[in-house]
């Protein structure tokens, strides 16, 4: 749980330090990462295109801009924030989440994955 808290909090913190790209994608390049290989090779966005931009907007409270960059990214960022709250509660109370809460968290991950695939297919049709 501590590792998840550090990773999730770290990713949100780094996202807050980045300036969101006005193009809706490419914010990750501020970290020294290369442009999207799928976009360069095939000319189409990958499912994660715009995700860093989405998180960067999300950490600024700009939900509409976050969703415009990548809806799944916005949902994943909100989910990570929720998991951070769960981790703080676990650390504070010393009690692990219930089986039901764990089920809902797992369902959330799967749902965001499915939504990411659907969003990507829609974007392929629109681009």
CB atoms within 10 A of CB 76: 23
Cα-based torsion angle of the residue sequence 59, 65, 68, 70 in order, rounded to the nearest 10 degrees: -10
Query: What pLDDT score does 35 carry?
Result: 92
Query: What pLDDT score does 108 carry?
Result: 93
* pLDDT string in tens for the chain (127-residue length): 667 778 888 889 999 999 999 888 889 999 999 999 988 999 888 899 999 999 999 999 999 999 999 999 999 999 999 988 888 888 889 888 889 988 998 999 999 999 999 999 998 888 7
Query: What pLDDT score does 3 carry?
Result: 73
């Amino acid at each position: 749980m501590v590792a998840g808290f550090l990773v999730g909090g770290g990713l949100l913190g780094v996202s807050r330090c980045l300036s969101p790209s006005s193009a809706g994608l490419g914010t990750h390049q501020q970290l020294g990462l290369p442009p999207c290989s799928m976009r360069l090779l095939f000319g189409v966005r990958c499912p994660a295109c715009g995700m860093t931009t989405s998180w960067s907007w999300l950490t600024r409270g700009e939900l509409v801009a976050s969703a415009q960059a990548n809806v799944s990214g916005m949902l994943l960022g909100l989910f990570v924030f929720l998991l951070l709250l769960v981790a703080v509660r676990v650390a504070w109370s010393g009690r692990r989440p219930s089986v039901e809460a764990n089920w809902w968290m797992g369902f959330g991950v799967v749902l965001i994955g499915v939504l990411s695939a659907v969003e990507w297919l829609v974007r392929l049709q629109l681009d």
